[in-house]
Structures are given as structure tokens and as C-alpha cells.
């Protein structure tokens, strides 16, 4: 009897010698292959935190537009780096107790290490004209803004942000009836990144068990169904490591994280399903484990390799766009496709060799025409037009919600759910402080104030200005 590690020459070797040699090596050293993928998964899990920390939370910074150059010029000359905003509402701002507490909070916030400026209303009364006031029109809400210095160490910045948040919330605890809502663009971008990570984890927790159940029904065995799921988990974990490497050259945004997870789950499961299904057919045909793995990788492995390379090449085309945003997403997805291929060509064969008895045999190629899917295919072929129309109607029905889609910035407040604090802050400011809405046009000029004022005077008094 041959040992598992002794793989005889296969007729499939001549069809795809590269795949056959790789499959033979994975069978012979399947324990080493599984250990390497386990180490890669551990490194990927450790990389999740650094990847999230490196996500660029400024959507304009990865676009090649003139407005990006203007924003970068402004960032280079601003005296602050980071801002915490809050709406303090619920009682009249002219209330003496509220005035005393707000003044005390302003003094305490100014004393926090790292804080360079605190903006709070000085005239605690409702504005009589639409001006740049920190008091709402009804006189029952005030804006507080705290700016942090540039170049602060991460530890100092985190402590400053925590101290500022705690002191601002103390206003609500000191004055009955006051409600504090924290927000601002910096906080919203952080909330979007954190929610993206949470949604990614939730999608994995939903997708993987459902996939396992569906594949279990198809394969009729838990171990066989677990192979695609394990390949997907390892691919996504390795994808996080790839994102960490990619972040050295590109500013990544939260869509890159979601794309990596989505592509990794989909393709790794798809490629492993093809491989496992083909392996079970080869086993049903009477081949031993080693021979079945080699034959599987010489056929299904070749198809998977071709499909993955085509997809990766197409995704790399996004790097041709003059935008780091699209280039980073394209390269992140292309790298994940390559990792899915690597898992299909190495991890899946190693798992097949490690658990051959538990994976079992399926329907042989000669008997494949008698399964449920074969019957469905024959029925569909006999009634091709009604089947095509029915499926088309079903797909169009599923797509109808997209007709009401509302596209927003990938890291803006509107992407957050209405219950999120940063979203509530944006809604409150838009409703009660319309004078603080974003300017329609911002112009950045390298010139002296007198010349700039002369130029701006051309537009003073114009309609809608």
C-alpha cells in the first residue's frame, strides 16, 4: 500500500505540470502548508488594528482634483490639527447657571494639554441677524469647538480628546435639562471607519455560517463544507496583512477594507467549492487521495488560476486612474484575488490531504448527469425562454430598491445611521445653525491680504453672495 506522501506520476501531469507539481508538494508537506497559513492568518489578525488606524479619514485626500490641492494648502498652514465640536442644548443659553457652567468649561478645556483654542459663545443671547453666531436662533442651543495643536504624539492626542469629551459632557451633568451632542467632521470620519470595521465583522459572522450551511447541504458533510469556509477566513486574514503593506504607499479609506473582505470571502469560497467538488468526483472515480488531489489541481486548479489572473488583471486597471482612491481599491482587491488563488492552489489541497476520509467521495464524472442540478439543467434547457424571462424578472425585482438609492460621501456624516451621535450632531447643526453650513466655494490663494481683499470686493453685494 502506498503512503499518502508518495505521489505516483499522474496522467494529469502532462496536462498542467505546474499545477501537478504544486499539488504534489502540498500533499507531501500538507502539515507545513497548514502551519504556514495558520501563521499568515495570525499575522493578518494582528494587522487589523494598524490597518484601521492607518485608514485615511479625509475623503478628499485621495483624489487628484484642484480642490484637493487647495485643502492640502490649508492643512499645511493651519495652526491646529484636529477639532472636537459639540452642541449644548436644552435650556436657555441666557440662564445664569448655564452661563457660569459654560464659562467654567471653557477655562477647563483651555487648560487641557494639547488644546490650543476653545470657541464658545461670548454673547449668550439669540442672534438677531443671520451671522456667524455660536447661539441658535431660538436661544436654546450653543456651539462649542475645541481645537488641538499640530504634531501631537498619539498618546497626548488621545488623552486630550478623552479629557475634552469628558469635560464637555460634564456640562449636561451639572445643569439639569442640558443635552450634549458631540460631532464634527473629524469625529464623523472616525465613526465611519469604526462602523465600516464593525459592518465587516458582522458580514463575516453572517456570511460564514450561512455559507457553511449551504455547502453542507451540497456536500453532505461538515468537513467538506468547512474547507471553503477555512479558505475564506485565511484569505481575508491574509488580506488584512496585504492592506497593511499597501498602506505604506497609498492612503487607504474604509471602502478598501470592505472591498478586501467582500472579494476575499466570495472568491476564496468560490474557488474552493470548485476544487472540493472536483476532488470528490476524482475520489468517486476510484483514485486514491494523492492521485485525486493531483488530478483535481491539474484540471480545476488550472481553471481557477486562469479565472483569478483575469480578475486580478482587470482590477489592476483601476491603478490607471489618476486617483489614489481608485488605485488603492483596485490594488487591494487584486491582491486579495491573488491570495484567494494562493489559498485555492495550496491551502485547499493541503486540507484535502489532511482530512481525506472525512471529506469522502461525491458523484463521479460519469454519474454526474443524475444529480438534482443535472435535472434542473435539463429542465431549463427544455424551457429556455420562460426560464430566462422568469429569472430576469426576479433579478430586476431584486434591483428595484437601487432606484431609490441616495449616494453620499464614503466618509461623511450622512453615511452614519440617524441614531449615531455624529449624525445627530450634523442634523442638529443643519437645523438650528444654518449659518454654519459648508461654504459653497472656498478659494485658496497665495497672496497678501490687501490684494486678496481687492479681488474679493468684486463679488461683494452680488446676488446670492
Number of CB atoms found within 10 A of residue 169's CB = 15
What local confidence, expressed as pLDDT, does residue 51 receive? 84
pLDDT at residue 434, rounded to an integer = 77
CB-based contacts of 155, cutoff 8 Å, min separation 6: none
Question: Mean of the pLDDT values across residues 175-180?
Answer: 89
Locate 279 and state its grid cell: 476532488
Band (368; pLDDT cuts 50, 70, 90): low
CA distance 272 to 263: 14
95 three-state secondary structure: coil
What is the sign of the dihedral through the CA atoms of 367, 371, 377 and 383?
Answer: positive
Provide the whole-model pTM.
0.68
260-301 confidence digits (pLDDT tens): 888 888 898 888 888 888 888 888 887 888 888 888 888 888
> In this prediction, what percent of the chain has a pLDDT beyond 70?
86
User: What is the reported pLDDT for 333?
Assistant: 92
The SS3 of residue 135 is: strand
- How confident is the model at residue 362, as a pLDDT? 56
Residue 10's nearest CA partner among 23, 18, 20 is 20
135: closest CA among 154, 121, 115? 121
Confidence of residue 398 (pLDDT cuts 50, 70, 90): very high
Give the pLDDT confidence of 99-138 residue by residue, as tens digits: 888 889 999 998 999 888 888 876 555 554 444 478 888 8
C-alpha cell at 127: 442672534
Return all residues near 74 (Cβ < 8 A) that are at least 6 apart: 444
4-23, pLDDT tens digit by residue?
444 444 444 444 567 678 88
Angle at 288 between CA 287 and CA 289, to 5 degrees: 120
Q: In this prediction, what percent of the chain has a pLDDT beyond 90?
A: 17
In this structure, is the dihedral angle defined by the CA atoms of residues 331, 336, 339 and 345, taken in order, positive or negative?
A: negative
Whether residue 408 is predicted with pLDDT greater than 90 in this model: the reply is: no
pLDDT in tens, 431-443: 888 777 666 678 8
397 pLDDT tier (thresholds 50, 70, 90): very high
Distances 244 to 46, 49, 126, 192, 257 between C-alpha atoms, Å: 10, 10, 50, 19, 11
Higher pLDDT, 309 or 212: 309
- What would the grid cell of residue 149 be? 495643536
| Mean pLDDT taken over the chain | 81
Report the SS3 class of residue 30: helix
Please state, in angstroms and rounded to a whole number, the distance separating the CA atoms of residues 132 and 130. 7
Predicted pLDDT at 2: 39
Q: Is the pLDDT of residue 369 over 60?
A: no
Which of 130-144, 171-185, 307-321 is predicted with the least confidence, judged by mean pLDDT? 130-144
How many CA within 13 A on the CB side of residue 90?
15
Amino acid at each position: 500500500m502506498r503512503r499518502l506522501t508518495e505521489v505516483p506520476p499522474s496522467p494529469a501531469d502532462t496536462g498542467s505540470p505546474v499545477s501537478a507539481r504544486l499539488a504534489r508538494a502540498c500533499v507531501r508537506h500538507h502539515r507545513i502548508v497548514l502551519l504556514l497559513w495558520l501563521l499568515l492568518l495570525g499575522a493578518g489578525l494582528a494587522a487589523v488594528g494598524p490597518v484601521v488606524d492607518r485608514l485615511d479619514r479625509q475623503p478628499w485626500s485621495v483624489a487628484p482634483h484642484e480642490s484637493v490641492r487647495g485643502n492640502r494648502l490649508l492643512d499645511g498652514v493651519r495652526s491646529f490639527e484636529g477639532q472636537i465640536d459639540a452642541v449644548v442644548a436644552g435650556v436657555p443659553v441666557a440662564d445664569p447657571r448655564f452661563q457660569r457652567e459654560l464659562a467654567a468649561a471653557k477655562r477647563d478645556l483651555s487648560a487641557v494639554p494639547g488644546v490650543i483654542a476653545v470657541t464658545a459663545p461670548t454673547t449668550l443671547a439669540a442672534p438677531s441677524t443671520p451671522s456667524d453666531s455660536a447661539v441658535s436662533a431660538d436661544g436654546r442651543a450653543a456651539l462649542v469647538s475645541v481645537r488641538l495643536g499640530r504634531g501631537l504624539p498619539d498618546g497626548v492626542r488621545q488623552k486630550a480628546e478623552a479629557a475634552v469629551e469628558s469635560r464637555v459632557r460634564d456640562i449636561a451633568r451639572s445643569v439639569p435639562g442640558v443635552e450634549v451632542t458631540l460631532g464634527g467632521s473629524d469625529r464623523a470620519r472616525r465613526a465611519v471607519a469604526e462602523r465600516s470595521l464593525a459592518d465587516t465583522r458582522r458580514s463575516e459572522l453572517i456570511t460564514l455560517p450561512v455559507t457553511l450551511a449551504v455547502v453542507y447541504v451540497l456536500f453532505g458533510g461538515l468537513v467538506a463544507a468547512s474547507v471553503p469556509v477555512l479558505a475564506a477566513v485565511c484569505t481575508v486574514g491574509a488580506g488584512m496583512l496585504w492592506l497593511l503593506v499597501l498602506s505604506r504607499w497609498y492612503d487607504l479609506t474604509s471602502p478598501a477594507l470592505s472591498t478586501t473582505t467582500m472579494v476575499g470571502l466570495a472568491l476564496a469560497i468560490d474557488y474552493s467549492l470548485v476544487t472540493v467538488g472536483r476532488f470528490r468526483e476524482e475520489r468517486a472515480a476510484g483514485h486514491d487521495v494523492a492521485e485525486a488531489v493531483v488530478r483535481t489541481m491539474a484540471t480545476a486548479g488550472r481553471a481557477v488560476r486562469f479565472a483569478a489572473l483575469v480578475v486580478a488583471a482587470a482590477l489592476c486597471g483601476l491603478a490607471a486612474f489618476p486617483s489614489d482612491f481608485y488605485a488603492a481599491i483596485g490594488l487591494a482587491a487584486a491582491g486579495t484575488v491573488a491570495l484567494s488563488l494562493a489559498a485555492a492552489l495550496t491551502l485547499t489541497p493541503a486540507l484535502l490531504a489532511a482530512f481525506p476520509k472525512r471529506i469522502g467521495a461525491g458523484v463521479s464524472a460519469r454519474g454526474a448527469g443524475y444529480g438534482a442540478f443535472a435535472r434542473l439543467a435539463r429542465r431549463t434547457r427544455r424551457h429556455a425562454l420562460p426560464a430566462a424571462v422568469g429569472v430576469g424578472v426576479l433579478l430586476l425585482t431584486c434591483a428595484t430598491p437601487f432606484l431609490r438609492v441616495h449616494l453620499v460621501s464614503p466618509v461623511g456624516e450622512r453615511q452614519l445611521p440617524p441614531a449615531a451621535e455624529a449624525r445627530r450632531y450634523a442634523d442638529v447643526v443643519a437645523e438650528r445653525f444654518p449659518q454654519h453650513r459648508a461654504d459653497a466655494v472656498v478659494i485658496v490663494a497665495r497672496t497678501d491680504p490687501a490684494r486678496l481683499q481687492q479681488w474679493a470686493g468684486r463679488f461683494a453685494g452680488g446676488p446670492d453672495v
